[in-house]
Structure 1
Amino acid sequence: MNPAQIEHFRKILMSWRRDLIEEIDRTVQHLQDDAGSFADPNDRATQEEEFALELRTRDRERKLIKKIGESLASLDTGDYGYCEYCGVEIGIRRLEARPTATLCIDCKTLDEIREKQVI
């Protein structure tokens, strides 16, 4: 990967991480503002269900932020864009679609097949 491509992916990853952190901050503020604002038990139950959904979403985003951090670290070490399993270049098109990809398409496909067989 050339320096321009490395910088391109660094900008994508940093922007994505910043957006996720801002969304998490908005959610925390929303949860704090709306907590306990309904006296009716039905409204309260609906609110708690919405909060649970928000928290699950934020948990997934927290894990994604960690993956983004790992991708940024691999950019610094020069390992970004190479498959963790076989060492082949992942490919620009795949990285454009999934900047946190750590496996080439072939290894990812095999990984998914193995996963289905375990279930």
Structure 2
Amino acid sequence: MSTQEKKQTVQAVGDFTPYEAGKGEEYMSDDMRAHFVSILNKWKQDLMKEVDRTVDHMKEEAANFADPADRASQEEEFALELRNRDRERKLIKKIDKTLQLIQDKDYGWCEDCGVEIGVRRLEARPTADKCFDCKNLAEIKEKQVGKA
């Protein structure tokens, strides 16, 4: 997970009360799904505010500098912001996909092995679609392929 993703996860996870399942409550009950819908919608709203902030910032800061070094610095700053917003745009799509999974009652189970992902893992990374073991295995495989 990149530093940006970790920062975004902290933003998403920082403003909620951890879910406490009731005695005998089944995994991914209506209340549990509502908890994650709330987290995901808040996260999406925060990301959308960032997009608006970036647009406003770029409009306010746009200037034609006579000095080529100043112009290059500004263009580099804008390029970095746009790259970050592109990552956030992709994350918003993933949040929308996750919200659809919740609506379809398919949320919370590993897409590879079918076991419960777990409430705490989902609170840490609400868009997680793999259990810890499958995600760990996928990362190991990715590292091996990357070195080849």
TM-score if structure 1 supplies the norm length?
0.96
Equivalent of 1:19, from 35, 43, 46? 46
Deviation at 1:38, TM superposition (A): 2.5
In structure 1, the residue matched to 2:21 is none
Residues 23-32 or 90-99, more deviating: 23-32
Show structure 1 runs of 5+ residues with no match: none
1:69 partnered with 2:67: no
User: What's the % identity of the aligned pairs?
Assistant: 63
Residue deviations 1:79-116, cap 9 Å, x none? 11011111111000100100000000010011001101
Q: What letter corresponds to residue 87 of structure 1 in structure 2?
A: G
Residue deviations 1:25-73, cap 9 Å, x none? 1101211222224332211111111001101100110010011001100
In structure 2, the residue matched to 1:39 is 66
Q: What letter corresponds to residue 34 of structure 1 in structure 2?
A: E
More helix by share: 1
Moved over 6 A (4+): none
Equivalent of 1:81, from 104, 108, 119? 108
TM-score if structure 2 supplies the norm length?
0.77
Cα RMSD of the aligned pairs, angstroms, is 0.9
Show structure 2 runs of 5+ residues with no match: 1-27
